[in-house]
Amino acid sequence: VDTYLAVDIGGTGIRVAIFPEEGTQALAIKRISTRGAGTPLERFYALLNEMWPVNDHVRALGVAAAGPLDTRAGIIYSTPNIPGWINLPLQSMLEERHHVPVILGNDANLAAVGEWKYGAGRDHKDLVYLTISTGIGGGVILNNELMLGSRGLAAELGHIVVDPSGPTCSCGLRGHLEAMASGTAIGKRAAEQLAAGRKSILAKDPPPTAKDVSIAAYQGDALAVEVLTKAATILGKTLADFAHIFNPSIFILGGGVTQAGPIWFDAVNAALKTGVYDPGYLIDLKVVQAELKDNAGLLGALALARQLAHK
């Protein structure tokens, strides 16, 4: 029978899954850690060999990887936590090795594709996906097409300035959305406020994580509510900017921070509503939580592989 392989490569783990012709239920799936005996590439190759279906035909292979890569050229420019992967032509390497069509995609982009094809974004032509966890990544579907840009570097939605006097981002620049609304930003801001002498139950077990802040907020802790609401408000205002830029019919929010519940979600929605300059942007606009969780990138890689095979 015909099958598809989907791969998700991250700095900590590599997953390979086999899917049938249709549906999102994997026939087999295995995860290994990226580090261990051998290089990450050797480990990845060994996992592929082990998982490769012997009796079934593989129609295409889709690969989701973190970091800047060019899906059209099939090259990974660099990927976090795998220092050796610089300008790696992984697509042609895999095509030569396995003699099947291969397609690469940025993990946040592919998570957007996964949600669009199989998750919360079904039936939407224009969607903006954001993953809000330690960092903030994005993926955008416009008129049923993944936005890639001229070199495949588009949709880095965490790296736009939302406050020029804001804190420094992981990328080194100032006031980016990621530096103000990510899980990391929430933890840091809470820690700063504690250091400045603010009273809070968060002081018991420093440094606070975003999860600690969110739990404390639901216990009524004033500082935690303030920090969580501030991060959500900044995100919601930025969603209003994205509405003006993309005019999507749905925002899909994934990543750990979206587990923070209604205090966070209500503040996001309120800031979005007051942040659009014309009510037309809110007509039929949905803001929802991602459905596919950790499988979004893998299912996006599956979607691209199926698309590739049917071209």
Binding piece for its own copies, criterion CB under 8 A, among 55-63, 122-130, 213-221, 262-270: 122-130
Using rule CB under 8 A, residue 247 touches its own copies: yes
Q: Judged by CB under 8 A, which stretch of 18-26, 56-64, 152-160, 288-296 contacts its own copies?
A: 152-160
CA dist., res. 155 & res. 159, Å (int): 9
Among 48, 154, 191, 201, binds its own copies (CB under 8 A): 154
Using the minimum distance from each CB to its own copies, give the nearer residue, 44 or 251. 251
Is residue 123 near its own copies by the rule CB under 8 A? no
| 197 is an interface residue for its own copies by CB under 8 A | no
Binding segment for its own copies (CB under 8 A), chosen from 57-65, 196-204, 236-244, 289-297, is: 236-244
Residues 76-105 vs its own copies: string with x where CB under 8 A? Answer: -x----------------------------
- The three state secondary structure string of the chain is CEEEEEEEECCCEEEEEEECCCCCCCCEEEEEECCCCCCHHHHHHHHHHHHCCCCCEEEEEEEEECCCEECCCCEECCCCCCCCCCCECHHHHHHHHHCCCEEEEEHHHHHHHHHHHHCCCCCCCCEEEEEECCCEEEEEEECCEECCCCCCCCCCCCCCECCCCCCECCCCCECEHHHHHCHHHHHHHHHHHHHCCCCCHHHHCCCCCHHHHHHHHHCCCHHHHHHHHHHHHHHHHHHHHHHHHHCCCEEEEECHHHHHCHHHHHHHHHHHHHHCCCHHHHCCCEEEECCCHHHHHHHHHHHHHHHHHCC
Smaller CB separation from its own copies, 95 or 241: 241
Check if the beta carbon of residue 4 is closer than 8 Å to that of residue 59: yes
Q: Is 311 in the site for its own copies (CB under 8 A)?
A: no
164 counts as binding its own copies under rule CB under 8 A: yes
Of positions 24, 34, 133, 249, contacts its own copies by CB under 8 A: 249
Residue in 22, 55, 99, 150 binding its own copies, rule: CB under 8 A: 150
Q: Which 28-87 residues touch its own copies, going by CB under 8 A?
A: 68, 77
Q: Which of 105, 275, 297, 300 binds its own copies (CB under 8 A)?
A: 275
Residues engaged in binding its own copies (CB under 8 A): 68, 77, 124-126, 142-143, 145, 147-157, 159-165, 169, 171-173, 176, 237-238, 240-241, 244-249, 275, 277-278, 280-281, 283-284
